């Protein structure tokens, strides 16, 4: 099913790309667009994850540089039966996270500094379990290729707007075709993104809650992330809006599109579904709700319990071993 969905998505985006090429340059423009799209599809399969991580300036961390955060992902990956993904931190104050990679063997998860400063360890676990659910469902290939090609369609549409309106161009519709391409192509690409985004978020919420064992923690995390994303701008996301669907919550502050064109389901609906799942699971225990995950380099601060020993960044006890959110 995932292979079929990915194939349909790639075909749809390629068709849009070729259609824009036709409106800009006629049959020759369409053929050039097809060759470019074919090359992009091949390149995206192998390299789109690296491109996305680079766009956001993500830096890789490990058990030494970020023991608690890394430990959360490590324990969740074991629970989910997944290979250990690469773990990244994004240097933005907006709380958010995403996963990328062409398959579970080449996956990566990334969380922002804002997320790690804002959420409790249980909530961080809920978010990362959601991202690992995308990995387990093979959503990440679809999501990453979509980001790459949708971004290219928007760039081609801009090209059509600025250069396609000349009377001597090869467009069959002349300036009208160029304007149509500039206006309709990004909307068409967005509609294709929506076709895969909304339903997969619900599925990842459910599987993520099952992996972490706490639907409530993911629900409260979604509420906090949505609140942060609504008033804290993510500059990299604003510069690359075609990647918005990768994140657990839409990172575009100000919500430039209404709910009809949103790549994510309404947060309140996702929270309601998680709380219903909480009831079905008979409730879940937290135990870490009063603590926050520390950040490497002294970012953020953790609320300590009375029985906590002195701890360094990310939960390292002075002279001892690291502790994760499950002890």
* Rg from Cα positions in the chain: 21
Mind spelling out the 3-state secondary structure of 269-300? HHHHHHHHHHHHCCCCCCCCCCCCCCCHHHCC
Helices (H), the chain: 2-55, 67-80, 113-118, 121-136, 139-163, 174-212, 215-231, 235-239, 267-280
Cβ–Cβ contacts within 10 Å for residue 282, how many? 6
Query: Do 112 and 151 touch, CB atoms closer than 8 A?
Result: no
Q: CA-CA distance, 276 to 274, in Å (whole number)?
A: 5
Query: Do 83 and 140 touch, CB atoms closer than 8 A?
Result: no
Query: Do 243 and 314 touch, CB atoms closer than 8 A?
Result: no
Q: What is the DSSP string of 134-156?
A: HHHTTHHHHHHHHHHHHHHHHHH
Catalytic residue IDs: 131
Q: CA-CA distance, 89 to 70, in Å (whole number)?
A: 10
**Two structure tokens written together for 161:** 């707007």
3-class DSSP state of 242 = helix
Q: CA-CA distance, 229 to 55, in Å (whole number)?
A: 18
**Two structure tokens written together for 278:** 């909480």
- CA max distance for the chain: 77
- The one-character DSSP state at 166 is -
């Amino acid at each position: 099913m995932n292979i079929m969905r990915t194939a349909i998505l790639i075909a749809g985006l390629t068709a849009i790309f070729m259609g824009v090429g036709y409106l800009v340059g006629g049959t020759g423009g369409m053929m050039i667009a097809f060759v470019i799209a074919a090359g992009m599809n091949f390149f995206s399969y192998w390299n789109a994850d690296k491109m996305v991580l680079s766009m956001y300036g993500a830096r890789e961390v490990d058990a030494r540089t970020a023991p608690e955060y890394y430990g959360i992902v490590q324990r969740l990956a074991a629970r989910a039966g997944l290979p250990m993904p690469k773990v990244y931190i994004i240097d933005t104050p907006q709380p958010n996270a995403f996963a990328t990679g062409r398959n579970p063997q080449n996956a990566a998860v990334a969380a922002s500094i804002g997320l790690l400063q804002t959420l409790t360890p249980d909530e961080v676990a809920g978010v990362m379990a959601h991202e690992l659910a995308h990995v387990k469902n093979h959503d990440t290939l679809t999501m990453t290729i979509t980001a790459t090609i949708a971004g290219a369609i928007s760039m081609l549409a801009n090209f059509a707007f600025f250069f396609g309106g000349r009377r001597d161009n090869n467009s069959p519709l002349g300036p009208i075709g160029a304007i149509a391409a500039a206006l309709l192509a990004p909307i068409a690409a967005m509609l294709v993104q929506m076709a895969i985004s909304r339903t997969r978020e619900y599925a990842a919420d459910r599987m993520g809650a099952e992996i972490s064992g706490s639907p409530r923690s993911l629900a409260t995390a979604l509420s906090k992330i949505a609140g942060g994303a609504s008033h804290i701008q993510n500059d990299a996301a604003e510069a690359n809006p075609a990647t918005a669907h990768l994140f657990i919550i839409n990172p575009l502050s100000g919500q430039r599109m209404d709910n009809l064109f949103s790549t994510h389901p309404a947060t309140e609906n996702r929270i309601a579904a998680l709380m219903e799942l909480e009831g079905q699971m008979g409730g879940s225990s937290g135990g870490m709700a009063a603590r926050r995950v520390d950040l490497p380099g002294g970012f953020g601060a953790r609320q300590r319990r009375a029985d906590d020993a002195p701890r360094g960044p990310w939960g390292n006890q002075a002279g001892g071993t690291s502790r994760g959110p499950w002890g």
